[in-house]
Amino acid sequence: MGRKPDRILEIEGPSTRPGTKGKAMPTKIIVSYDGTANEDDAIALGRLFASAGAQVGLAYVRHAPEPDSDREAIAQAEAQEVLDRGVELLGDPGAPRHVVIDRSTPEGLRTLAAKEGAGVIVFCSDSHTAKGHVAVGNSAERLLEGGSAAVAIAPVDLAERHGAIRQIVAIGDADGGARQTAESLASAFGASIVPVVNDETDLLVIDSRPEAQQGIVSISSSAAHLIEVATCPVLVVPRGVSLQFARQSAGAVA
């Protein structure tokens, strides 16, 4: 955390949508995507948020520029090809695509989210996770303690599921943002908010701990346990922050 940043941001693709002048901007979401194991599940979760009215973009974090200009051009082109495939899976050709160069994946994503005004960063589960379960990878873990953007994690095999979001559970107190976020998502999805997590839960929205600094993500041990045993997507919001969603139209991405 104390190192001098030496990051480069190279942005490809549109950062705003046409026709939004004079309208409330949708919640911006960044999906961390490099095309490796379980990353398609993160795309699937991004697609769900897009269907709730969010503006979803993809980010590929490279850890160092190539010293040779020709090799750098090849590496950049390869990163763009990966993002193009991810955008195809997302189903939105106009989705923003970001190539970030940073020695640290979470720090690169943190900087990008701040620059783009994104409220959520989406991750897949760790590569060794059992099918149908959630596990926090290293990058997500870093942002779950001290990040300023909400963190969403997709269970393994979410990309293979075809069900809608029908039941949402909000975990937190009255001063947190989980309940309001869940209500906004429930309205956008046409879902219900239920009091207890069970096998029918389709989305879990969790507050940061009451002791956390306002606007910062920090989870309690009980929340960490809920994530460990979850079989549905998980969204952890910063302390006191509620995210707003609104389905844009009947033709929104499904």
Mean pLDDT of 2-23: 39
What is d(CA 98, CA 62) in angstroms, rounded to the nearest whole number?
A: 11
Average pLDDT of every residue of the chain: 88
Quick check: 244 pLDDT over 50? yes
Is 33 within a domain? Answer: yes
- Can you give the residue range of the structural domain that contains 153? 8-12+25-236
- Four-point Cα dihedral 60, 66, 70, 71, nearest 10: -70
Is 1 within a domain? Answer: no
Is 94 within a domain? Answer: yes
Geometric angle at alpha carbon 160, from 154 and 163, rounded to 5° = 80
Question: What's this model's pTM, rounded to 2 decimal places?
Answer: 0.88
Sheet with 192-193: strands ordered across: 8-12, 97-101, 55-62, 28-32, 120-123, 150-153, 234-236, 203-206, 167-171, 192-193
Joined together, the tokens standing for residue 150 give 């909400």
First to last CA, the chain: 38
Is 31 within a domain? Answer: yes
Q: In sequence order, what are the residues at sequence separation of 6 or more whose Cβ sits closer than 8 angstroms to the Cβ of residue 238?
A: 147, 148, 149, 150, 177, 208, 212, 214, 215, 216, 217
Residue type, 221: S
**What H or E segment, with its residue span, contains residue 186?**
helix 178-189
| pLDDT for the residue numbered 24 | 53
CB 80 within 8 A of CB 110: no
Is 132 within a domain? Answer: yes
Is 251 within a domain? Answer: no
Is 222 within a domain? Answer: yes
Q: What are the tens digits of pLDDT across the range 132-186?
A: 999 999 999 999 999 999 999 999 999 998 778 999 999 998 889 999 999 999 9
- Candidates 102, 98, 109; CA nearest to 139 is 109
Is 29 within a domain? Answer: yes
Mean pLDDT of 209-230: 95
Mean pLDDT of 219-238: 95
Quick check: 248 pLDDT over 70? no
CA distances (Å), origin 244, targets 28, 55, 199, 235, 240 = 10, 12, 26, 13, 13
Report the percent of the chain where pLDDT is more than 70.
87
Number of domains in the chain: 1
Quick check: 192 pLDDT over 70? yes
Q: What are the tens digits of pLDDT across the range 32-77?
A: 999 988 999 999 999 999 999 999 999 999 999 999 999 999 999 9
22 C-beta neighbours (distance < 10 Å), count: 5
| pLDDT for the residue numbered 78 | 96
Round the CA-based radius of gyration of the chain to a whole number and report it. Answer: 17
What is d(CA 118, CA 45) in angstroms, rounded to the nearest whole number?
A: 16
Question: At 225, which CATH number?
Answer: 3.40.50.12370
